Amino acid sequence: MKYIILILLVACSIHLSAQQKQFSKDDDGKFIYYKVVDSQSLSKDTLLQRAKSFVNVAYKKSMKQESATDSSVLAKGTMLIDKTVLVVGHPSGELSYNFVFEARNGKYRFWLTDLLFIPYQRDRYGNFVATTKVGVPLERTPGKLSAGAWKDIVNSAYNKMEKFEEDFKKYLVTNRVEKVKKKTETISTKKW
C-alpha cells in the first residue's frame, strides 16, 4: 500500500512539473502575450500618460515609440534571452516584439506580438553579437535536433514577458512625476 501511494505521488508531481506556461495564439496563428487589467482608480488620460512615460523613460534603451493616439500607444522593442548553465549565463539571442497599449476609463489592455528571435554567437573578441538581422518567428516548429533548445528559448521568452508585465503594471500604478529639465540661461556680460 505504501508503494502504491508513493508511486501515485511521484506520478502526480511529474505531471504537474511537466506542465509549462505557453503563449496564446492570435487570429493569424502568431504567438501573443495579451493581458486585460481593471484599474478603477485611474482615469484614461492618466493611464495613457504613464504608458507613454514607461515607453519613453523607463524602457527607453530597449523600446521605441512608433505612434500614439488619444487612447493607445504603439511601440517596438527588444529584450535579451539568456541561456543559463548552472550559475553562469550568457545571452543566446534577442527577441523583438511589437507593444500595443489601449486604455479606457476603468481598464486597460496591452499585448506583445510579432515575436522574432535573433540568435547570438560569440565573435572573435569574445562579445555576443547577432548572427543575422532577420528574425525567426517564435511560433515556428523546430526540427527534431533543435527542439529542446527551441523549447528553452520559448520558455525563457515567456518568463521575460511575465517580468515585463510586472514592471509595466507597477509603473502604471505608481504616481511618478516626470522631472522637467530646466533650461539653463546663459548670462551674457556684454549686454546689460
How is the chain split into domains, by residue range?
A: 21-172
Distance (Å, whole) CA 94 – CA 157: 9
pLDDT at 138: 85
Taking residues 44-53, what's their average pLDDT? 89
Q: Cell numbers of 189, please? A: 556680460
pLDDT at 153: 86
Distance (Å, whole) CA 100 – CA 94: 19
pLDDT above 60 for 12: no
Reported confidence tier of residue 73, pLDDT bands at 50, 70, 90: very high
107 vs 145 pLDDT, higher one: 107
Handedness of CA 10, 13, 17, 18 (dihedral sign): positive
Which of 1-15, 26-40, 169-183 has the highest mean predicted lDDT (pLDDT)?
26-40
pLDDT above 70 for 4: no
Residues 141/76, Cβ–Cβ less than 8 Å: no
pLDDT at 136: 86
Mean pLDDT of the chain, nearest integer: 81
Any idea how long the chain is? 192
pLDDT digit string, tens, across residues 113-139: 999 999 888 888 988 888 888 888 888
Instruction: Kindly report the CATH number that applies to the domain delimited by 21-172.
Output: 3.30.530.80
Distance (Å, whole) CA 65 – CA 55: 7
Residue 101 host element (H or E): strand 88-104
pLDDT above 70 for 152: yes
Taking residues 14-32, what's their average pLDDT? 70
The model's pTM:
0.74
Taking residues 3-24, what's their average pLDDT? 59
Distance (Å, whole) CA 72 – CA 51: 9
pLDDT above 90 for 151: no
Cα Rg of the chain, angstroms: 22
